[in-house]
Structure 1
Amino acid sequence: MNNKEAVVNKRSNQRFPFYRFKGTHHEIGLQHGEACRGLIERHLYLAVERLQRQHDIALPKILEETLKYRKYVKEHSPFLDDEIVGIAKGANISIEEAYLLQVRAEINRCFKTDNECTTFAAAPESTKEGTTIIGQNADLPEFYSSISIIKEVEPEEGKATLMLTPAGQVSYIGINNAGMGVFANFLECEGWREGYPRYLFSRFALTHDCVEEAVKDLRSLPRASSRNLIMSDKNGVIANMETTVTDDALLKPKDGILAHANHYLSKELLNEERSKGYLLNNSKIRQQRMEQLLLEKKGEITVEIMKEIMRDRENYPNCLCQAPGDESMQAPGDNGGDIVTFASVIAEPEAGRMWVAMGPPNEYEYHLYSFTR
């Protein structure tokens, strides 16, 4: 057995649970809540416990804040409010608790920020098969590996979606059946406020057929917070949309490649950057490494090559693939240290396929998920 075979054999074949929900949006939420009740309860407990462990914030105050965001969801995507209400009923939790799972980043806005995720997109001219490949290494607290799911949502009206989400969330990252892919990562700016929640940007974008229309409508939202979205469509169009609460900037592929981490790259928004120190340094190293590896394979990029790129551990501890303990090495003495690559996703949206690893992909195998029809 060679060294590569030995490494492969050590990787876990464990995978995220898969669910298919269909019907009205309320029925979809109800099915989600009932099927994932135990995971949702655990997600809620762990999210609240982490907030209260790291910061002195009482649960009643947390829940009071969550419903301030609901009116924006009801105004701009009432179908998602229907799903959230259904999740609450199906999981036997309150609407406030269900909304907390959607807006935990906003609730946490006054406290410590963490780096989250490295995204990429390879345009058709840079891939071997001439199709778009898009995805990300998703970095969150390690427990998200144990409470996340892959869900196929088929509403009576509108686009079907295939997404990775923590249980109880209506939106995170994924693709739709019109050939669009939307992936996202954290950006830090001033002025976070009550408004449309950042995690819902992805699902909102996936209600569209093309990047141009998604960008147009994302600009119309009264955004609560900042977020980076990297999007692709069946026409081969790719765009990266950096946002603040009031402004945005688009980045287009360079040499058929896009790579992003957790800092602003556009000239228009450089002054908005608020990350600093090890957080900013870590983000810059990851973004540059992803771009370097993509350019080295330009014209040859396949899903298999992307799997190896996503497993990259160069520049330790500032790695594309973040393992337990890396964060504490980035900032010795910091009491955080629980952020890891809890999932890795590689998608071919035009073909309706996603490959997902349920943890650092150097330790976990990828598994294929696709639309049922």
Structure 2
Amino acid sequence: MPDHTFPLIEVEGSSYEMGYQHGAQAAGLVQRYLRWIDRLTGMSRDTLCRNAMGFWPLMERLSPAFSEEVRGLADGAGISLEEAVLCQARAEAAQRTVGACTAFALTRSATADGNTLAGQNQDLEPEYADVALLLKVRPGDGRPRALMFTFAGQLGYSGLNEHGVAHFANALYGCTWQMGLPHYPIKRLVLEQRTVEDCVELLSGHRTCSAANLVLCDGQGHIDTVEIRPEGIARYPDAHPDACLHTNHYLTPAFAGHETGFLPDSCPRLDRIRELVQARWGTITVDTIKEILADHENDPGGICRHGAVGMHSISGYIAEPEKRLFHVRRGHGCLGTWQAYEV
């Protein structure tokens, strides 16, 4: 049988050592990711690298450890530092927002056992699946272990850490690009936190160059939704305190005025996942979530996305933070293969 899971890269040690190991193990995939960025953006590698390096001083100030890991990545993969930085700022270097995604966090009265379930469908152009991997990090300096779904050479994306902190993302639109931190380095630092409140404090202390939403959870049953824009963040209290559901339009009063309706399927998707969650309230398990993430209402722009605006559900995730389990699916919700990993 063919292997329908993503490659797993495991690294440990100092920041530089982890970056070097990542680069050495995934060198071919890193090169493919860089070629995909070229093709996706239609821009030259030189221009993309020059643009990306404009964010490098901000990354260095954000986290010297992250910056050392980038340097190790460059050496391990046999690429330039500029190309390694581009892997951390692909969207920002091209000023191109990408993604749809349906994200959720459910806890206490919503789930069958009262434990938290959080995750998303990852909706992107299908080529991203060809350069994706799982990255398990074991820092040697006391920072927590973590497991991420990401792309070869990109050091921060959605995942779960040993404290049960997990985060999942939705693209948001209607934002003018500004100089600020790229989202991927911040996402990596989120996975170095112990609680949701720690994550919110981190997000509130740094200005980003574009907009996005994060759905957060931790190992103590806390969940939250945070919309992020260059001017700041806004937390969204959902209709029930035991649920956080989000797609690709602004929900917070602070930012609702920026909504442009860029993705017309966003509102129907949110309505649909709310409907499905409500119908199974109090009985929701991992298998229930797998069914929800395979739903085709409003096809091709449903929760399980099949090509609307050129994007597909290339993967999906379900975190069980109390158990430190991370379920990852390769492929569409309706056809893909799930695999569970311990953090």
User: TM class by shorter-chain length?
Assistant: over 0.9
TM-score relative to the length of structure 2: 0.95
Residue by residue, what CA displacement relative to the aligned partner does 1:223-266 show, whole Å, maximum 9, x if unpaired? 12211111011221111000111121101343322111111011
The CA deviation at 1:191 is: 3.3
Aligned residues: 341
Residue by residue, what CA displacement relative to the aligned partner does 1:136-194 show, whole Å, maximum 9, x if unpaired? 00111111112111121010121111110111110110111011111112112333222
2:158 is the alignment partner of 1:168: no
Query: Equivalent of 1:50, from 37, 40, 57?
Result: 40
Query: Equivalent of 1:195, from 146, 171, 180?
Result: 180
Gaps of 5+ in 1: 1-10, 329-336
2:293 is the alignment partner of 1:310: yes
State whether residues 22 and 73 of structure 2, in contact with CA within 8 Å, keep that contact through their aligned partners in structure 1: yes
1-side partners of 2:261 and 2:238: how far apart? Answer: 24
2-side partners of 1:140 and 1:165: how far apart? Answer: 12
2-side partners of 1:13 and 1:254: how far apart? Answer: 41
Q: In the alignment, which residue of structure 1 is the partner of 2:7?
A: 17
Query: Equivalent of 2:302, from 298, 319, 327?
Result: 319
| Paired AA for residue 304 in structure 2 | C
Q: In the alignment, which residue of structure 1 is the partner of 2:332?
A: 360
1-side partners of 2:208 and 2:38: how far apart? Answer: 24
Residue by residue, what CA displacement relative to the aligned partner does 1:24-74 show, whole Å, maximum 9, x if unpaired? 01100000000001111111111111211xxxx333222111101111111
Gaps of 5+ in 2: none
State whether residues 257 and 295 of structure 1, in contact with CA within 8 Å, keep that contact through their aligned partners in structure 2: no
| Paired AA for residue 362 in structure 1 | C
TM-score relative to the length of structure 1: 0.88
Query: Equivalent of 1:38, from 22, 28, 31?
Result: 28
Query: Equivalent of 2:282, from 294, 299, 306?
Result: 299
Q: After the TM superposition, which of the residue ranges 253-262 and 77-86 deviates more from structure 2?
A: 253-262
1-side partners of 2:186 and 2:334: how far apart? Answer: 29
Q: In the alignment, which residue of structure 2 is the partner of 1:86?
A: 72
Q: Which runs of 4+ in 1 moved over 3 A?
A: none
Residue by residue, what CA displacement relative to the aligned partner does 1:336-367 show, whole Å, maximum 9, x if unpaired? x2x21111111101211111111112111211
| Paired AA for residue 34 in structure 2 | L
The CA deviation at 1:114 is: 4.1
Report SS of the residue matched to 2:245. Answer: strand
Query: Equivalent of 2:312, from 340, 346, 350?
Result: 340
2:102 is the alignment partner of 1:118: yes
2:72 is the alignment partner of 1:100: no
State whether residues 38 and 44 of structure 2, in contact with CA within 8 Å, keep that contact through their aligned partners in structure 1: no
1-side partners of 2:223 and 2:74: how far apart? Answer: 35
Report SS of the residue matched to 1:146. Answer: helix
Query: Equivalent of 1:127, from 88, 108, 111?
Result: 111
Report SS of the residue matched to 1:134. Answer: strand
| Paired AA for residue 155 in structure 2 | V
2:323 is the alignment partner of 1:351: yes
Q: In the alignment, which residue of structure 2 is the partner of 1:334?
A: none
Report SS of the residue matched to 2:147. Answer: strand
2-side partners of 1:320 and 1:327: how far apart? Answer: 11
Report SS of the residue matched to 1:242. Answer: strand
2-side partners of 1:294 and 1:153: how far apart? Answer: 33
1-side partners of 2:223 and 2:124: how far apart? Answer: 25
Q: After the TM superposition, which of the residue ranges 292-301 and 25-34 deviates more from structure 2?
A: 292-301
> Alpha carbon RMSD of aligned pairs, Å?
1.6
| Paired AA for residue 188 in structure 2 | R
2:229 is the alignment partner of 1:244: yes
State whether residues 136 and 147 of structure 2, in contact with CA within 8 Å, keep that contact through their aligned partners in structure 1: yes
The CA deviation at 1:13 is: 5.8
Report SS of the residue matched to 1:259. Answer: strand
Q: In the alignment, which residue of structure 2 is the partner of 1:209?
A: 194
Report SS of the residue matched to 1:351. Answer: coil
Report SS of the residue matched to 2:4. Answer: coil
Q: In the alignment, which residue of structure 1 is the partner of 2:54?
A: 68
